[in-house]
A and B are shown apart, each in its own frame.
Chain A
Amino acid sequence: MGSITLKNVSKAFGAHAVIPSIDLDIDDGEFVVFVGPSGCGKSTLLRLIAGLEDVSGGEIVIDGKNATDLPPAKRGLSMVFQSYALYPHMSVRGNIAFPLKMMGEDKAVIDKKVADAARVLNLTDYLDRKPRQLSGGQRQRVAIGRAIVRQPEAFLFDEPLSNLDAALRVNMRLEISQLHQQLKTTMIYVTHDQVEAMTMADKIVVLNRGRIEQVGSPLELYHRPDNLFVAGFIGSPKMNFVSGAPAAMHQAHTIGVRPEHLVLSKERGTWRGTVGVAEHLGSDTFLHVNADGIGTMTARVSGDFAVTHGDQVFLTPDPQRVHRFDETGMAIR
């Protein structure tokens, strides 16, 4: 089945090592998200797994077999590209049927599989249209349809939602998650959006500069980040970091407190500050507070906490929820 193992995989373009060395296990049926800032090597890693790039070293094992030197078509993987990469000269039917045609399937088998895929993805009415006549979401579905008809060992998604508008992105996120529950096939999903990572993944792989910073379930990463990078990357708004004297009180070089773990009061508290900008979302309010001697901190409070620009407030970190880091940025546990 669709387990994938990377052993000591590295990739260099010329003298530039994009990925120094990565070890990773992906279990069959898992939904794994590679997340990280742009240029962290997440897309390169996906392309290495796909076989669209050669590894510079190491081994890629797919379904127990060494696939390091196999061409993309022989790896039993399907990929959904960022631009969808639909064949513009083929109809939706032609696009979905293409991988089956390449496998040399019977016409009858192809027709049936295409019809099934179209039904699952609500594309039945659009089968004879060309990609340019479809909306962004429909194109996305065609790309997924083309991926599922092959019944691959695993699906690879390369930032598939980044070309959609915000509302549609939320919808498609849900659809992909549902698809995963239906098919129970391994999925590897690359994104720079930590919200997508948190909402969809069974397992998140946080990448930074070609290295894995941490692997874990969304909540593990949220509650127990291994280091400053992961702590800052996961969670929105970002975690507040404080170093110096306040951190020393917690026997740490740096401490981190999430905006939702700061208690606000107008009377008393650990740190005093002035409200800079208040962003009212309705349910919540994000306060950007200039704390004396510390700098700007973000706090998340309930929507009915009444403050405006210039008000004086006090911030108190929830002592149970303070993350402590040493001078190398590693978490102290």
Chain B
Amino acid sequence: MQWLERHVPKLVLAPSFIAALLFVYGFIAWTAWVSFTRSRLLPNYDLVGTIQYERLFASPRWEVALNNLFVFGVLFIGISMLLGLLLAIFLDQKIRTEGVLRTIYLYPMALSLIVTGTAWKWMLNPGLGLEAMVRGWGFEDFRFDWITDPDMAIYTVVIAGVWQASGFVMALFLAGLRSVDGEIIKAAQVDGIPTHRIYTAIIIPSMAPIFLSAFIVLSHLAIKSFDLVIALTGGGPGYATDLPATYMYAMAFSRGDIGQAASSAMVMMMIVFAIVVPYLYSELRAKHD
């Protein structure tokens, strides 16, 4: 009884810890192992070296997926941050309707990416959507058929992604702006420093940690983006808007190529780690100092 009393906290934590060991670390190990085998439709556990990774990086479809991740990632993160910051600064000017506007800017974040994708797919439909609308206004030559154009389709994913996430970045930045020391700003105003200089020289530099966490969240979202592409373009036209996440899924569940699915998943994980681990490391170090 005494023993039980003393060990209750450990016993409470144990199931979750074991679950994490098994279903996170064990599963990563499994996927890592399989990525070094010849597994196709069924897993095979004989290690054969890096053959799957060689196949992966020789695959034109994977090349497209990685390129798309780069294009999508840079634009999605860049535009969302810029727009989020801009909206936050605008809303920070003692706007009377701030509450309503904030609610409007942020609601997409409550939607499933499948809903977002469905809505934008309809609006971007060249025959009946925005293109047809503008043509109806008399601009007969107006063209906005990116979603059916293999070279442009990835940018439609950017549009929908920014629509979904920028309001959230706005909320992060707005909270950051509000936490800047009011005294410093007042002192600067008294000194006659113009507002835009106060922002560029005082407020924005002091928000560096928020930029970092916004960047981390957005890059995490970008790498994981799967739902949005599936709902918006289905990876098409052809495989023009494939991302690593959709490539992995196609290999795992429709192509029956477990080796490729495992190796592409491992590459995704490395990309996430390359971004997240330095961040976590610096966070933990900052706490110890």
- A in complex with B: no
Chain A positions near chain B (C-beta within 8 angstroms): none
The chain B residues found within 8 Å of chain A, CB to CB, are none
